[in-house]
Chains A and B, each alone.
Chain A
């Protein structure tokens, strides 16, 4: 089974407090720690587990710049066979639809049975997977929490729906699935693993190799664009206890008792 996983490099919110730059035009990126978008890492692990069971290869792809190669290498260290960077000045400013167009062009150069994405990026809206599927006319399922390979070119999948319930479906190949966190336990990647793939070449494609019409991508093709960032005025905000830890605990217990929380 040939599996393509679309990944992204994003600021790691567990390592960073996200703040605005002075102009409000962007978040302050200078000191940010970047890493693989967490749901994408689950998607790569799931792909590796599937090929571990039924055979095949895993390719990881991203749309970005040279800076993004580090996440491709990280996922190759996990076990992905190929890393592919789709990069071109013309891609700058693409909206989700533009990214989906770029990925579509790449997918059509190869032959993949399954395409996985993470369910959503930290700064995204759970968009690209569903758009890519529609552009390719492949079936799509979002929020996938289990995958089983069945005979006859199809999968049995579970999706997360309300209240912790699961919706089970069969889906024909080729298909696009967006992977929810928690589907598996992604393997650990150490420095040694990353060093081992440091010199493996990463394939690079731009508009000409992908035969992309430049009006459908980049700023020109974007129907949706971000104007600025801001921190909304809090409509309500907590009363912050500013005493010593001991004072805060006393005060908190008093309040909790008053609300009937101490029996």
Chain B
């Protein structure tokens, strides 16, 4: 394994993405002796701040500093990377909304293999990389072999590789801007629309009754609302409930929704995709109620109950209300 390993690190407001350390950890799974090179694209003082921050965890940082890259339009970032990255390299980036936008096309333009959404890298044998991916919402995993003889673009699932504390590396910043050449955009950034607040702020609640696909239809949302009312909690949800328009987007927990930090999280009829779990921070007491005993949520929950939420939740509400009535006497 002689290929050079690069980590493309996204950033915002002058701060590198949390993935920066995780990409180093993933690179070391490919080659334990390697020090990956960070690549960052952006403009001016914000980019310089990013480079300074990355100096602690990377020995070398390549920066592409162009006014046109002030907003990370993946089409323009790709054009720059194709010119700067040597053939045969392995390029890591996070499997997030930016990586999904950038990586597939980058792999074609670099004539490299594309391995998406790796959760583990098990071994490397010559040009054969063996990695683990998850399929069917995490119900099963698969070993995947990837031929990296002409290089590879690998997206890394956020949170799957643990960043390690390393000695401060005092990295060296190399300016590659002059190699990036000219740009032409067929896709042009217009603006960012910030999410609306919604009627209930689920980020402020200590207890969340959170519902997923298992709620089955819009009329059943009421049984979750009744339990939430009895508990003094709020109702949140996973993506399929918002897709079906049963609850407002502001109630969605996950990487494309809200990040919440409750004390108690009741996951009701939620399978537990990594995108959903990414929105759950602060290690809440996690209860999973799901009629599918194989639902991945049971692997991360503290307490699991295999039951039909459509029957379980109303009975639980009734019990809470009885307890309240007794306590009030």
Q: Which residues on A are within 8 Å of B, measured CB to CB?
A: 11, 13-14, 17-20, 27, 96-97, 100, 119, 122-123, 125-131, 133-135, 138-143, 156, 158-172, 175, 178, 181-182, 185, 223-232, 234-241, 245-246, 248-250, 252-253, 255-256, 259-263
Contacts and interface: CB of A to CB of B under 8 A. Distances in A.
B172 interface: no
B292 interface: yes
B146 interface: yes
Interface string B118-149: 00000000000010110111011111111100
Interface in B186-243: 186-195, 206-207, 213, 231-233, 239-240, 242-243
13 contacts: A13-B139, A18-B294, A122-B137, A125-B116, A126-B100, A131-B108, A140-B101, A142-B100, A166-B192, A170-B188, A234-B299, A249-B319, A259-B264
B117 interface: yes
B133 A125 contact: yes
Q: Which 3 A-B pairs have the closest CB atoms?
A: A130-B104, A125-B116, A238-B304
At the interface, is chain A mostly helix, strand, loop or mixed? mixed
B130 A256 contact: no
B310 to A, nearest CB: 12
B80 to A, nearest CB: 15
A148 B64 CA distance: 33
A248 B96 CA distance: 38
A236 B299 contact: yes
Contact of B316 (A97, A123, A252, A259): A252
A164 B143 contact: no
B53 interface: no
Nearest to B108: A134
Nearest to B127: A223
Given A164-B250, A165-B195, A230-B141, A260 B258 contact: no
B137 A163 contact: no
A250 B319 contact: yes
A131 B258 contact: no
Contacts of B106: 134
Nearest to B307: A245
A181 B136 CA distance: 16
Nearest to A129: B104
A126 B116 contact: yes
Interface of B: 73, 75, 95-98, 100-101, 103-109, 113-117, 130, 132-133, 135-137, 139-147, 150, 155, 185-195, 206-207, 213, 231-233, 239-240, 242-245, 249-250, 252, 255-259, 263-264, 266, 285-288, 292, 294, 298-307, 311-312, 315-316, 319-320, 323
Given A130-B101, A239-B304, A139 B239 contact: no
Contact of A125 (B73, B117, B189, B287): B117
Nearest to B323: A253
Given A182-B243, A245-B307, A133 B299 contact: no
A238 B299 contact: yes
A156 B187 CA distance: 10
Nearest to A176: B105
Given A181-B239, A252-B303, A262 B231 contact: yes
A172 B266 CA distance: 45
Contact of B256 (A20, A142, A164, A231): A164
Nearest to A232: B141
A166 B97 CA distance: 11
Given A182-B239, A224-B147, A245-B312, A162 B191 contact: no
Contacts of A255: 285, 287, 303
Contact of A169 (B113, B117, B189): B189
Given A125-B133, A158-B193, 13 more contacts: A17-B139, A18-B140, A19-B140, A125-B95, A126-B104, A131-B107, A175-B187, A182-B243, A234-B299, A238-B286, A255-B303, A256-B285, A260-B264
A131 to B, nearest CB: 5
B100 to A, nearest CB: 5
Given A126-B100, A169-B187, A245-B311, A240 B306 contact: yes
Contacts of B191: 168
A169 B193 CA distance: 11
Contacts of A162: 96-97, 255-256
B16 to A, nearest CB: 15
A249 B307 CA distance: 11
B126 to A, nearest CB: 14
Contacts of B311: 245
A165 B301 CA distance: 28
Nearest to B186: A139
Given A131-B104, A225-B144, A237 B298 contact: yes
